[in-house]
Structure 1
């Protein structure tokens, strides 16, 4: 069986220390906003605290993933810890949606029975959230272009800051106009945004964990591309999946027109590798060459 892969080495991110600082800051904000939410009776402040908590988890996941992906594979863990990030993303996004639904139910109840809110606490704690998240955004910004982990951490912190700005605006309106309905309205808006973000992440993580083919690659196109080679009779038993965000795997059986030499197969395999990497970003191939073998020639078939 021909087997090939192109390594993408993971180097320690220079933003590791900045991530740790952001984690500590966000834990402090979360505690302060949660306590303030209970004391003031503000549901939007509590929802912002939960939003911050979800982002603490995301930042921790980003940090752990950076550490784990540098660990070498072993005989008992041949893929290493490459899927740790995906599993964590699945759990994180699922819990995010559950929290958001809970917030919407609470907000609807608050609409039906409006409550007086200590808007002073809401204003000061949302200001704290803006300052701390703003500082974290500046810390992470430089490293956000280096890898997907840091980019997602940066976006989470940026949305946190925007949510705190919304809560501040709500606090000011409650303070000057006693518009207490603003609080549950903001809560629903933040919760719907969490569902939107959470669903997209949950869907992506589920696709990877279930070994679904990547969205942007069509199996029929790959089969057509390989079948266009003169020596190839057909391509069957195809499996296409993502190990993680950086690694796309292709496994296939290739039936040849003639009983070619192993050295000839190696030349053809090298050409397939180049095509797959260049055209589809597939960086790990396992090809089984066949000649005159009586097996199913279906493109997608169970072994």
Structure 2
């Protein structure tokens, strides 16, 4: 899962968010859940904390149509998987269900990033997409375990498989997934959410094609063992994709540096700015599956460089490093600063 901006990201010239201070001796607890700094606050007005345009024209309809079609194919595959005694169809139904959840997550992420923050949820609601990814991954892995258990049982206790039914239903799934992939071709170059949806649908079309071929082989040879073997292959594909989703979701939930973000490059960039002699209390985390946040203290012994200079750093952080919410604090360097998170824990 890549943490990058959604399509149509604003590149505001004056809509950015930063607090910069020129006084020493204030509290440096830089926990991003709530900064408590003294001194003077130079926050600009007009900040709405969301930097995403509305979805591309027609994108909402594409998601709605793809979700509807995939829900229908999940129901058909699940029903015929039971009737035809095909664990491969059931596995493919599980895979398509995972893509329905993925589509809903991508669609929901676009909607959530447009929600304004509130007095209680000051960072907005984007992090709910991270929680949804965790739930999605957990449910998928559980479903995979059930499918594998059933496939092993079918290998030990073979049952007749309706190869023709498997072929027909899987072919329908291939067509539906191919059409769904076509729906997202237009927007995939500008929006990673849409690109992810396109890749999922295209991969599903290929998997459904493989299941259809297995149905034909069973029809011609009577190799019923091929069906549970194919279901295990499909599960392996699901687990391969889901494991990365689970790993990245856990990391984002724990406020780890998002994938694709080079913290050292950001530190070096800030340190090279005119008048900056040191950078500390640098924290980067994910606001959602599509947005990043940053806080940092920059030491400038000559004093505050003015709003325009700090604004330029904030804009550069957004454009070069995809930091959608950057908060910079200016220190004079007259006292020794240490991030409270780096201090050794107190003994109890």
Q: Give the TM-score normalised by structure 2.
A: 0.77
Give the Cα separation in 2 of the matches to 1:183 and 1:253: 59
2:53 aligns with 10
1:72 equivalent among 112, 116, 137: 116
Q: 1:270 to 1:142 in 2, by over 3 A?
A: closer
Q: Distance in 1 between matches of 2:105 and 2:311?
A: 37
Aligned with 1:235 (options 275, 279, 282): 279
CA RMSD after TM alignment: 2.6
| TM-fit CA distance, 1:241 | 1.2
Partner of 1:82: 126
Structure 1 Cα separation of the partners of residues 66 and 265 of structure 2: 44
| Equivalence for 1:38 | 82
Paired residues of 1:238 and 1:300 also in contact (CA < 8 A): no
Cα deviation for residue 188 of structure 1 reads: 1.0
CA deviation after TM superposition for structure 1 residue 12, in Å: 3.0
Structure with more helix by fraction:
1
Q: Deviations over 1:82-128 (max 9, x none)?
A: 22322222211222122223222322232222222121221221122
Structure 2 counterpart of 1:206: 250
Give the structure, 1 or 2, with the largest relative contact order (CA under 8 Å, sep 6 or more). Answer: 2
Per mean C-alpha deviation after superposition, the further-off stretch among 277-286 and 36-45 is 277-286
Structure 2 CA distance for aligned equivalents of residues 99 and 226 of structure 1? 46
Deviations 1:37-92 (A, max 9, x none): 11111110111111111122222223333333322222232222222322222211
Q: Equivalent residue of 1:141, what SS?
A: coil
Structure 1 window deviating more from structure 2 (10-19 vs 171-180): it is 10-19
* CA deviation vs aligned residue, 1:215-235 (integer Å, no higher than 9, x gap): 333433333332334533322
SS at match of 1:244: coil
Rounded Cα–Cα distance in structure 2 between residues aligned with 1:209 and 1:161: 31
Structure 2: any 5+ residue segments left out of the alignment?
Answer: 1-18, 21-42
Q: Tell me the residue number matched to 1:281.
A: 322
Q: How many pairs are equivalent?
A: 300
Q: CA distance change for structure 1 residues 150 and 186 in 2, over 3 Å: closer, same or farther?
A: same
**CA 1:277–1:299: 2 relative to 1, 3 Å:** farther
- 2:50–2:115 contact (8 Å) kept in structure 1: no
Distance apart, 1:196 and its partner CA: 0.8
1:239 and 1:300 in contact (8 A); partners too: no
Matches of 1:162 and 1:151, distance apart in 2:
17
- Greater strand proportion: 1
